[in-house]
């Protein structure tokens, strides 16, 4: 069993695209990925596609075959849905299928159209990733849920809103050279602290934007890549998935994310690496506190120590443990169904040296992508390595 290779990737500009449909966005990313890989569409065995709110935002279900048609594939297509981890779960399914010998080439991707339904509409649509009976009907939104988790973390481990502001400042600065990023604007700690409150203690700059966009990657077996002379130096060597109770009141922890713990443990064991081997990480920072949860669950920091990582400069592009060199969801944007594959593309480009922030990890050989759904009731973790 060999590790699947990332043969090519494509990502749209993330942001507001009121004139474009989901299929149009995915066509751009998917065709770019196929062209980057140099793979004939006739060789593609399957499309694994992530999407969360298509029925609500575009009145469109059954998106798998629609997206296959959009990129010229005559192949079976399956839509994966795990809230904000939809694309990560699609990647995991593709990795397993390639390893099991069920396919030689799989296009994995995702897309989301969100801005067309406005802030209130998108907030309502996102909320259905929570427990409708016990959370949504009581007025829970995701800013409110993450505010509760933030308070629980501060109560248990300490930290402050200023620490979270440093996360936002870092990720905004990282996004400045990322042409795919929705927000290319530097901010200061004072900007973040003085911004309007969204759900105390979280403010405007603690929250990722509402985003339209798509991402795709072509994954192949090592033998297919070699037989067809593909330039595919980055392999997916580890995959893991974890879960937790959907509603916050049913969780054993509010200041930790056990689903991500489980996913990381599984992915590391699969890849035969440990946290100490990770050179760079792309994590699911839908809110600034989520980056803190992620780097602790990934074992990059001990419990209670992740809160000061950005403040101390350890996770910026000059630090020893760079995190979210793309700008993260915070500044790159978060088109929900595309995010997990966009992370995969970013790590691939960082490791092969083609990303504009690759100079931050010039000797990097191992990266990790962490994609979470809802309040981290679903999580996938993937380890990527430069193949020997």
SS3 4: coil
Q: pTM score, two decimals?
A: 0.98
d(CA 104, CA 99): 9
- Whether the pLDDT of residue 326 is over 70: the answer is yes
pLDDT band at 171 (very low <50, low <70, confident <90, very high): very high
pLDDT for position 316: 98
pLDDT in tens, 26-66: 999 999 999 999 999 999 999 999 999 999 999 999 999 99
* 53 CB-side CA count, 13 A: 27
State whether CATH 3.40.190.10 applies to domain 5-117+209-386.
no
Alpha-carbon separation of residue 60 from 48, 64, 77 (angstroms): 17, 11, 15
- Confidence at 280, pLDDT banded by 50, 70, 90: very high
Look over the chain and give the mean of its residue pLDDT values, rounded to a whole number. 97
Q: In whole angstroms, what is the distance from residue 165 CA to residue 187 CA?
A: 9
What is residue 331's predicted lDDT score, i.e. its pLDDT? 98
Determine the angle formed by the axes of helices 142-157 and 118-127, rounding to 10 degrees: 60
Closest by CA to 215, choosing from 28, 73, 352, is 28
Catalytic residue (choose from 17, 84, 166, 284) = 84
pLDDT band at 24 (very low <50, low <70, confident <90, very high): very high
Phi-psi region of 278 (alpha: psi -120 to 50; beta: other; left: phi over 0): beta
Instruction: Determine what percent of the chain is predicted with pLDDT higher than 70.
Output: 100
Average pLDDT over residues 302-325: 98
**pLDDT for residue 388:** 75
Condensed to tens digits (0 to 9), the pLDDT of residues 122-132 reads 999 999 999 99
Model confidence at 2, in pLDDT bands (50, 70, 90)?
confident
Q: Catalytic one among 166, 180, 334, 382?
A: 334
Which pLDDT score is estimated for 223?
Answer: 97
List the beta bridge partners of residue 107. 47, 218
Q: How confident is the model at residue 1 (pLDDT cuts 50, 70, 90)?
A: low
- 318 catalytically annotated: no
Position 369 pLDDT exceeds 70: yes
Model pLDDT for residues 172-193, shown as the tens digit of each residue: 999 999 999 999 999 999 999 9
Q: What percent of the chain has pLDDT over 90?
A: 99
Answer for the pair 170, 328: CB distance below 8 angstroms, yes or no.
no
d(CA 365, CA 249): 40
Q: Is 174 a catalytic residue?
A: no
Residue ranges with strand state E in the chain: 5-11, 46-50, 77-80, 105-112, 197-199, 202-203, 213-220, 234-243, 280-282, 366-373, 378-386
Cβ neighbours, 10 Å, residue 28 = 21
pLDDT digit string, tens, across residues 71-99: 999 999 999 999 999 999 999 999 999 99
């Amino acid at each position: 069993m060999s590790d699947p290779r990332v043969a090519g990737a494509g990502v749209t500009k993330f942001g507001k695209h009121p004139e474009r449909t989901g299929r149009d966005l995915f066509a751009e990313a998917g065709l770019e990925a196929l062209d980057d890989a140099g793979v004939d569409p006739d060789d593609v065995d399957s499309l694994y596609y992530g999407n969360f709110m298509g029925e609500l935002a575009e009145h469109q279900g059954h998106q798998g075959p629609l997206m296959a048609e959009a990129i010229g594939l005559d192949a079976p297509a399956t839509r994966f849905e795990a809230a904000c981890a939809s694309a990560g779960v699609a990647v995991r399914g593709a990795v397993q299928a390639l390893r099991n010998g069920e396919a030689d080439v799989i296009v994995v991707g995702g897309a989301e159209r969100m801005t067309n339904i406005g802030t209130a509409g998108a907030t309502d649509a996102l909320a259905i990733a929570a427990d409708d009976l016990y959370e949504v009907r009581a007025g829970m939104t995701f800013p409110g849920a993450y505010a509760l988790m933030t308070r629980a973390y501060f109560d248990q481990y300490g930290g402050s809103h200023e620490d979270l502001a440093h996360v936002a400042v870092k990720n905004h600065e990282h996004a400045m050279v990322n042409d795919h990023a929705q927000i290319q604007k530097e901010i200061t700690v004072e900007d973040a602290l003085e911004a309007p409150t969204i759900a105390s203690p979280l403010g405007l700059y603690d929250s990722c934007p509402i985003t339209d966009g798509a991402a795709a990657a072509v994954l192949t077996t090592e033998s297919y890549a070699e037989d067809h002379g593909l330039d595919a130096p980055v392999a997916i060597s580890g995959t893991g998935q974890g879960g937790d109770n959907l509603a916050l009141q049913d969780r054993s922890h509010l200041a930790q994310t056990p689903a991500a713990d489980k996913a990381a443990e599984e992915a590391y064991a699969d890849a035969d690496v440990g946290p100490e081997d990770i050179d760079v990480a792309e994590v699911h920072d839908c809110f600034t506190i989520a980056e803190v949860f992620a780097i602790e669950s990934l074992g990059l920091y001990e419990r209670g120590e992740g809160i000061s990582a950005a403040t101390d400069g350890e996770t910026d592009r000059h630090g020893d443990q760079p995190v979210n060199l793309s700008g993260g969801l915070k500044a790159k944007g978060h088109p929900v169904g595309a995010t997990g594959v966009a992370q995969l593309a970013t790590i691939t480009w960082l490791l092969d040296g083609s990303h504009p922030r690759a100079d931050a990890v010039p000797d990097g050989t191992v990266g990790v992508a962490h994609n979470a759904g809802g309040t981290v009731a679903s999580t996938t973790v993937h380890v990527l390595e430069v193949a020997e």
